[in-house]
Structure 1
Amino acid sequence: MALALEQVGVAFGGFRALTEVSLSVAPGQVVGLIGPNGAGKTTCVNVLTGFQRPTAGRVSLDGRDVSALPAHRLRRAGVARTFQAGRLFGGLDVLDNLACTGVGLGQRRSEAEHQASDLLGWMGISSLESRGAAGLPYTDERRVAIARALMGRPQYLLLDEPAAGMSEHEAADLAALIRRIAGELGTGCLLIEHNVGLVLSVCADVVVLDGGKVIERGGRQAILASRAVREAYLGANAEAA
């Protein structure tokens, strides 16, 4: 049981965005994906969620090849994501943002509204239900985007830079939420982040990309001890982190 990239390559003309990238996320597991700008992190997310087809290798979902499935079919199959920009429906309130997603997944309107309200309560943001999405503070917008992605109880959730713009305290709250999503809901999470401290605090396994290739993988100590990672991303003083 896993969502996985298996030796995946992606080429745009003569440019190779990914080369033989393999990674996997199991239900209830939190895996980190880090790397410098242009390393190929978002391309990985796009391939895993059906927004980009691989030109080599395959995407598998619980052992089934889903490389050719479009994004909406993968979402219905239990693979959800957030985006670097919140992409909320600005003309709707928060509850309707979630309920709209539920209806799109095949739920009845009443069922979708009930699940949306429960999710907002579970996340501790029920007070936002009737707020217009367009007027939300940045951090609340990120929280609502995660709640919307959890509609339909996906088995896998890919979080694309959810902590961008957050303070240290807000990032700590986000880390606690991600742990709850994995631990209480049993959802496998792939966390794509520039906040390395957040990733290392919440992920038992981390994959590091540089130039579209995996240059390291492992736990906190393996990542911090890797010379290749320090040179590519963390900097020369990573040992002090």
Structure 2
Amino acid sequence: DLLADVDALRAVEGAVATARQRLGRKGRWPVAEVVVETGDPEVRDALATHGGLFAERVNAESVWVVDAYAERKRVLDPDMSALGPAVGEDAERVADAVAGRPADLPLPVTVDGTDYEVTAEHVDVVERTPEAVASADFERGTAHVDGTLTPELRRQGLARDVVRRTQELRADLDLAVDERVRLWVDTDDETLRRAVEEHEATLREAVRVETFLAAPPADTRKWTVDGATLELGLEPVAAATLE
């Protein structure tokens, strides 16, 4: 039922938020992909029914549900406390040879003509995901978030930061929710400028922009957005008309 779906999706959304934090990715910025690893039928059904809405809520380009996450690999992690006594002075070189290798044991290793056999006694087997992926568990599964930041996704994120800053200006002016404005946007960063141009329609709708100003108004404000300087200024359309 709907309540069960909501509970299931909240749990997954919480795990996605945790994974985002591990990536250092702000909620306003999109991620390439969320993979939900679960065998729970309620979670799977909830995502199948509300997948589009869920993708919007977690700000992901795509959401997949799988029984087992294919990108997770089981690899070897040397245990120096065991390797040292077993192979002596070659321990570090043996460790370098096996670290990160697939977890297929026993593993033969040759160092300077000397053959060794690495067994389960000498290593731990750990699970690793790609560097761009962060994972977080929830009660009935695991959420894997791919934080690969393509140029397109970065521009989406930058545009949403511009929306947020413009909304702050609206709030400072105590404007009515539906009051339309004229907006000044300036930046010294080409990527940020392109982000505003590409997502102009979103900016117009989100902050009720009637038109963009060709020159700055009397009051403007500057921010640093992802390392770029952003200057914004706005004025209500009604006030501009009276002047």
Asked whether the two chains share a fold, i.e. TM above 0.5, the reply is no
Larger Rg: 2
- The structure with higher relative contact order (CA 8 Å, sep 6+) is 1
Q: TM-score, normalised by structure 1?
A: 0.22
Q: TM-score, normalised by structure 2?
A: 0.22
